[in-house]
Structure 1
């Protein structure tokens, strides 16, 4: 198997790991080391990969970084009662050029996803999400991306890719595989009106910080439809992170970002998960520990996955039909998990790749709203996109 791009976890981290309790997470992982090489991935469900690339950060001034502190924090945690086997495959070092790093990441993600292993990327700059997205080119006809971020990162797609403009490239570069893009936790004052209008025109979803903090469960249906989840640590408020990481007094707190990671884990569709924009500083322990806890909750979520989206079997769900002024809306509720979906009418005259996108995750509240003659926003956007 071609994992030539991966360099092993450093000996200093492994030495630290040897001192931990036998019950600690680090003692239960399959770790890529200099001595033993790449571990056997036979039963592995989740593979952690560090990507030491930050040259496309708009504020890049030549600094390099390592993920040793993150690994030490993560290894020192205790696992839940999991039956999920996790591997740490080490790091992808920066290539000769950023494109080389993208190629290495894309190739590695491709191999893992095809083996039904969920890659968890801990990275430098968030433009790495573009390489992750490109890994899906030959695997899926349409991809949904969720970006947990205070900014949309649409940027000017005519200029070279940066960590604040990679989404523009995702939308405009061929092949066009993006079906839906959703931003969770955005803060209006960090986004130009043009970008906000563009999100509206493209029928992409955007959830403001206040909305998410007010009711964290709004994130669950968004994650349930996601294939790629990308978290920018800049979405976390300054009081929760280390010195160099502090961007805004407002943002998600530690508990909320861990809940978001868990929702991403529970989703049956999420097949890659990334935490980006890590910037180590001398008082680094708190950010390293926050990333570790996010990883912990993601694994916890994956461990709690329940397959419930087989709507062929009538016993597996209840069906509800509501009439609003303009539409007949059909809802499904899983009898196994209590999760809700809404049907998007498939438009036969539109030649698109969306035949399997006819059910959209939603909440019980969406059903109650529809009963009160209010069309759910997610349904409206997906319907409009389907009609374009």
Structure 2
């Protein structure tokens, strides 16, 4: 008979780690939380939660942001997923985007300063997706530029109608930026945003979980909320719950891809008419997630695999070429 579990065995595990302790010999962990500003309220709310998966979370503080580059670089060298809590400050994106990042942004529109505008400056990330924005809060030139660059966007209304549409967009991203101002005022009354429209609290938690499930996850930055939110405040509680969902996603994430592990995927070919294009889909036997194959005219023997959902497969079965397939076919083959 196994020993009875104590209440504390299920409490969300948080261990303080001084920035100087980020070394090669540090224990492995699910994620490193970096409080780039005051975060006592969020920290206290996290300690009230119960874990569901086996997770181990370290947290550290960088109240003046002066050691943040060191912390991020040290975590990167040790392949530790990092979650940076930035408070009300909009992050300077260049401090986070090194190498060839694949970026996702959840925000309500084009704020000032606007991370999306910074992302679109050269060099623009090879992959950039925008979720939850509202058209009347968004500069048309920004959304049009994203479309011209064949970047995927998902409006708030589209996400609300089918939340699962966001998962494929976040699946391949390495860097995630989550603006808590995208949450409507009714769900975050002590936050910064006073807009009556926006994400529901449950929806922002769903997006956080999808971020954690990303097989390439490297970093998430959460900002746009009062850093000094006290314990028991709605802001501190919601940010803590967002972190909980994100780390739960990290704990159960499956690193899978049809190109790397074809034996774990079911290949499904759909003929588009008698003489039409054959569309190839792959479904994971582990997670049930979907990918589709897009031809690569530059390297015909090296097709491109795009994250998708069952809706694209269902559309193809009806004889319609999914817009996502056309989008990536144009992008990958330099059509405009």
Q: Is the 8 A contact 1:318 1:334 kept in 2?
A: yes
For residue 224 of structure 1, the aligned residue among 153, 166, 171 is 171
Q: Which residue of 2 aligns with 1:145?
A: 103
Partner Cα distance (2:261, 2:200) in 1: 41
For residue 169 of structure 1, the aligned residue among 115, 118, 122 is 118
Aligned residues: 323
Partner Cα distance (1:94, 1:303) in 2: 28
- Residues 1:203 and 2:150 are matched in the alignment: yes
Q: Is the 8 A contact 1:242 1:283 kept in 2?
A: no
For residue 316 of structure 1, the aligned residue among 245, 264, 277 is 264
Counterparts of 1:273-312 in structure 2, within 5 Å, are 273-280=220-227, 285-312=233-260
**What is the CA-CA distance between 1:281 and the residue it aligns to?**
6.5
TM-score normalised to structure 2 length: 0.86
1:356–1:163 distance in 2 versus 1, CA, 3 Å: farther
- Residues 1:342 and 2:292 are matched in the alignment: yes
Of 272-281 and 224-233, deviating more is 272-281
Q: Which residue of 2 aligns with 1:12?
A: none
1:286–1:324 distance in 2 versus 1, CA, 3 Å: same
For residue 187 of structure 1, the aligned residue among 130, 134, 142 is 134
Q: Structure 1: which 5+ residue stretches go unaligned? A: 1-20, 53-65, 96-103, 154-161
| 1:300-342 alpha-carbon deviations (Å, 9 max, x no partner) | 1111112332545543111112233763321111112111101
Partner Cα distance (2:258, 2:191) in 1: 46
Q: Which residue of 2 aligns with 1:99?
A: none
Q: Is the 8 A contact 2:36 2:86 kept in 1?
A: yes
| 1:179-207 alpha-carbon deviations (Å, 9 max, x no partner) | 12111111000012222221211111111
Partner Cα distance (2:330, 2:41) in 1: 46
- Residues 1:49 and 2:41 are matched in the alignment: no
**Which SS does the other structure have where 1:146 is aligned?**
strand
**Which SS does the other structure have where 1:342 is aligned?**
strand
- Residues 1:68 and 2:35 are matched in the alignment: no
- Residues 1:80 and 2:65 are matched in the alignment: no
Q: Is the 8 A contact 1:241 1:286 kept in 2?
A: yes
**Which SS does the other structure have where 2:157 is aligned?**
helix
Partner Cα distance (1:349, 1:318) in 2: 24
Q: Note the aligned Cα RMSD (angstroms).
A: 2.7
